[in-house]
Amino acid sequence: MTVARLVIALLCLLLLSCSSGPRLAPLAPEATVLAFGDSLTFGTGAGPGESYPAVLETLISRRVVNAGIPGEESGGGRERLAGVLEEQKPALMILCLGGNDFLRGKDEATVAANLRAMVQTARERGVAVVLIAVPRLGFGLEVPKLYAELAAGSGLPLEGKALKRILGTRRLKSDPLHPNAAGYRILAEAVAKLLTKSGAI
């Protein structure tokens, strides 16, 4: 191998190692971000203004709409999403669903299909999507592979570690299923970091 080819090869490896994953279009200052999910999005276990969407709004200086409904499964989210997108007209959606499906013993393939359909619904309307992985409770906390598979297959930025860390730390929880204010802040900070890394902020 010539010196020139060696230099080119090294540069290619350097560029690959610096890859920051899926990229998002920068959010305009007036853009709306939709936080879509269940009680983890709603903020159950914390006070007013302490949910992750409320904290995220202050971190990214963009309007963040909290569209979390406690107890909702992925199928319910799939049914209501189009109406929420039409009403709010966001530039970006943060999708965090699946926990209630897991608690009720729903099939992971069904959850994956519902999440995939929601991603498609958003993208058909020109809305970018970020995915938050929700761990399954059991003997410890396990994040189902469906989140990483969906993110990789659809080119989505994925926050795959924060909720597992939060729900595995007693001092960050208000009950066995929900973060407290400190936990939600950590989640918001992780999402803000992901949005910055992906180029949205």
Q: Backbone phi, then psi, for 96, in 5-degree steps? A: -140, 90
Give per-residue pLDDT as tens, 68-115: 999 999 999 999 999 999 999 999 999 999 999 999 999 999 999 999
Of the candidates 191, 177, 101, the one whose C-alpha atom is nearest the C-alpha of residue 146 is 101
Would you say residue 55 has pLDDT above 90?
Answer: yes
pTM for this entry: 0.89
130: in domain: yes
The pLDDT, as a whole number, for residue 1 is: 45
52: in domain: yes
Question: What percent of the chain clears pLDDT 90, i.e. is strictly above it?
Answer: 87
121: in domain: yes
Distance from C-alpha of 178 to C-alpha of 1, rounded to nearest angstrom: 57
**83 is written with which tokens?**
């109406």
Cβ-count burial of 155 within 10 angstroms (0-12 exposed, 13-18 middle, 19+ buried)?
A: exposed
Q: Which amino acid is at 125?
A: R
Give per-residue pLDDT as tens, 111-152: 999 999 999 999 999 999 999 999 998 767 999 999 999 999
**DSSP assignments along 81-129, one per residue:** HHHHHHHH--SEEEEE--HHHHHTT--HHHHHHHHHHHHHHHHHTT-EE
**Which uninterrupted H or E stretch holds 36?**
strand 32-37
- Domain enclosing residue 56, as ranges: 27-197
The total domain count for the chain is: 1
Give the CATH number, domain containing residue 147.
3.40.50.1110
